[in-house]
A and B are shown apart, each in its own frame.
Chain A
Amino acid sequence: MDFADDPAEAEFRAGLRAWLRDHLAEHRDGTGYESAAAVERTLRWHRALAAAGYAGLSLPAAYGGRGLPDAYEAILNEELAAAGAPPSPPIGHIAHAVADFAGEELKARVLPGLLDCTEVWCQGFSEPGAGSDLAGLSTTATFDDGRFVVNGQKIWTSGAMWSGWCLLLARTEPDRPRHRGLSMLVVDMRSPGVDRREIVLASGSREFAEVFFDGVTVPAANLIGERGQGWQIAMHMLSYERGPADMGWVGRLGRVLATACDDVRSGRVAADAGLRRRLAEATVEVQVMQWHVARSLANRTTDTTGSAGSVDKLLATRVEQNLYRVVSDLAGPSFVLGAPGPFSDYLWSRAQSIYGGTQQIQRQIVAQRVLGLPLA
C-alpha cells in the first residue's frame, strides 16, 4: 500500500507543477462551452496542455501519447485541481477505443491529431430513440462497394459543432441480434451529408448538438475493429468515460470545493453552523472520492469486471450533486438573483446523473455485472 509517488511519479508531478506555474496565467480567463469565445479558449488550453506533453498520458507513445500508467492521470487531475487550472481535455475514452481496437494504419492516421488536440473529436452514440437503451440505435452504416454509407441521426453529441471527427456507433448488420449488429466507425465530420444543429442546454451551455447523416460515405479503412464489434468497443469506451479522472471531474470538483472553503474562510460568504456542517461533509466526500479515484486508476489494468467505471461514476455523481447543493445554498439569494453563474453550475450538476448512462442505468450495471444479481 503506497499512495505516495514513486520517484518517477514525483518527477512528473514536479515538472507539471512548474509548467502550470509558468503557463497557467495565459489561461486565466478559464474555459467553457457557453460561447464561441469560450470554446476557443477551451481548445487553446487543451492544445497547450498537449503540446507540453500532458494529454493522452496513458496512451501509447508511438501514437503521440506518453505510455504512462493510469496513475499518472490521477496526478494530472490532482495537480490541475490544486493549481486551480481548467480540466484536462476529455479525450481518454475516445483515445482508448481507437488505441485498443483499431488497426495499425488507422491508429497511426488519427491518434496523433486526437492526442495533440489539433483535431477535435466527438462521440456519436445516443439517438432520439436510443438513450439508456443504446443498443436499440437505428443509424445505419450500409457496406456497399468497399465503403460504408451512413444514414441516421445522433443527439447529445458533445462538441459536435466544432469537431473534425466523430467516433460513430452505427448498425452495420441489421440481420444480427441487436447487440451484435453494431460497428464503430471513424467519420470525417467535414464529409458531404453531415449536418449539425446546436442544442442549447437549460444552463446556457452550447456543448451539445444533434448530428444528421444523409448518405455520408465512410471508407472501409475507417472501421475500428471488426464489423459487429461495435457494442464491445462502446462498452470499453464507456468504462473510461465513466471514470471520473478521464473526464476531469476530480479536478473540477476539487476546485469548486476549494473556492467554497475559501469564500467561507475569508468571510466573503456567510455560513451558519448548518451550512458549515454540510460544507464539511462535502469536503469529506470529495476527499474520499479523490482517494477512490487514485485507487481505481492504480488498479485499472488489473480490474477485470470492466464495470469499475460505473462505481466511480455513481460515487462522483453523488458527491458532485451534494457539493453543488451546498454551494448553491452558500450563494444565498445570489443563487437566483443577479449573474446566472451559480444557478447554471447547479443545473449542470443535475446533468451528471443523466449523461454517460443515467444513475439508474449505472446501478443496474453494478448490480448485475459486479454484484451478480439476476436479470429480471
Chain B
Amino acid sequence: MVIELTAEQRAFRESCGKLAAVLAAQWNRGRGPHDIAPPVPDKASWSRVVDTGWLAIGLREENGGAGAGVVDLTVLAEQLGHHTVAAPVLGIILAAEQLQAWGAPSGLLQDIAEGGIRLAPALDANLRGLACAAVGALAWDAAGAEAAVIPASGVAHSLGDPLPFADPTRAVRPLGAPSAGIPAFAPTAPDGDAAARLDAFALSLLTADLLGTMQAALDAAIEHARTRAQFGAPIGSFQAVQQLLADSHVLVEAGRSASYYSAWAVDALPGREALRAARVAKAFVSRSAVEVCESAIQVFGGIGMTWEAPAHIWLRRAHAGRLVLGDEHHHQSFIADDDFSRS
C-alpha cells in the first residue's frame, strides 16, 4: 500500500501548475458576461500546451502518445481545475481516449496528440454520459474544436455555435452535419471491460478537475480569511469562519482520497470495479465541490458575489463539472442498483 504521488508525479504536478497558471492568466473574463473572452487560448499559448505534450501523454505510444498512467493524467486534470484553465485540454484528452478505445486509426490519434486537429467529446443531451449517437448530442469543452466524433459510428460531426453554459471556462456546442474534413473510420466497439474502463477514465479526470477547483476555492478563502479584518481582527480568527473552513478542508481531503483511488483503479482493477470506484468518487466530489465553493463565497462575503472576484468561476466550474458525466444522484442510482436492489 503506497497512497501518495511519486516524486516524478509531484514534479509533474509542479510543471503542470506553472503552465496552467500561465494559461489562466492569459484568459480574460472581462468586466462581466457581456465582454468575456471565449475559452480559447491564443496561438502561442496553445503551442505551449501542444509542445508540453499534455494532449499526448495518455495515448498509447503507437498512437503518438506517451502511455502515461491515469494517476498522471489526474495530476494534470487537478491543475487544470485548480487554475480553472479556460482551454479545452481535458476535452481533447477525453475525446482522444474514447477514439483510441473504439479503434480509431493511429493517424487520426497522432494528429490529435500533435495538435494538428482539435476534437471534443460528444455527450448525450443531458450531459450524463458519452454520446452513442449524434442526434441531440452536445460537444463539451469544445472551444476551438473542429468536430466531435461519435465513436459508435466513426463519423465526425461539425459543431455549432456555443450554447449558453454556466461555466465560461468550457464551451458546449451542438453537433451538426458530418464533417467533410475528417474521414469516417470503421469503429471496433470496446468489450465490456474496456467500455467500463473508458467510463471510469472519463469520470476520474472530471473528479480530479473538480478536486482542483475545490482546493483552489478553499485556499483562496483561507487566504482571504487571514487578511480581511472586521471588528479589529482577521475574520479567520472567528470561530464561525474557522468551523466553515475546517469542514471544507475535510471535504477536500476526503475528496482527494477518493480521487486518488478512482484514478489508481482505472489502471489497476478490472473495468467493472474501476467504474464502481469512479462513480463513488464522482458522486462524492460532485457534491463536495459545490459545498466547498459555496462556503468559499460565504467567506468572501459581498466581494464573492461580484464578477470581478474569481469565486463565482469556481462555483460555476464546480456545478458544471458536477453535472457533466453525471451528478451524485445519477451515480448513486447505479450504486443503489448494484448494492441493494432486489434481483
Contacts and interface: CB of A to CB of B under 8 A. Distances in A.
A357 B3 CA distance: 28
B234 interface: yes
A312 to B, nearest CB: 9
Contacts of A291: 257-258, 260-261
A291 B278 CA distance: 12
Interface residues on B, range: 35 or more
B288 to A, nearest CB: 9
B2 A1 contact: yes
Contact of A284 (B5, B242, B328): B328
Contacts of A5: 1
Nearest to A314: B250
A153 B139 CA distance: 68
A264 B254 CA distance: 27
Contacts of A280: 332-333, 335-336, 339
Contacts of B222: 371-373
Interface in A259-292: 260-262, 264-267, 271, 276-277, 279-281, 283-285, 287-289, 291-292
B305 interface: no
A170 B80 CA distance: 52
Contacts of A39: none
Contact of A368 (B242, B264, B283, B339): B242
Contact of B280 (A287, A295, A318, A371): A287
A106 interface: no
A74 interface: yes
A299 B3 contact: yes
Interface string B252-265: 01111110110111
B261 A279 contact: no
Nearest to B343: A265
A25 interface: no
A2 B249 CA distance: 24
Given A1-B5, A298-B2, 17 more contacts: A1-B260, A3-B265, A279-B336, A279-B340, A280-B332, A288-B284, A294-B1, A295-B257, A298-B4, A311-B249, A311-B253, A363-B246, A363-B247, A373-B236, A375-B237, A376-B233, A376-B238
Closest CB pairs A-B (n = 10): A367-B242, A280-B332, A363-B246, A292-B257, A366-B246, A373-B236, A280-B336, A264-B340, A298-B3, A295-B3
Interface of A: 1-6, 9, 71, 74, 260-262, 264-267, 271, 276-277, 279-281, 283-285, 287-289, 291-292, 294-296, 298-299, 302, 311, 314-315, 318, 360, 362-364, 366-368, 370-376
12 contacts: A265-B339, A284-B331, A291-B260, A311-B250, A314-B247, A315-B250, A362-B246, A366-B249, A368-B242, A370-B249, A373-B225, A376-B238
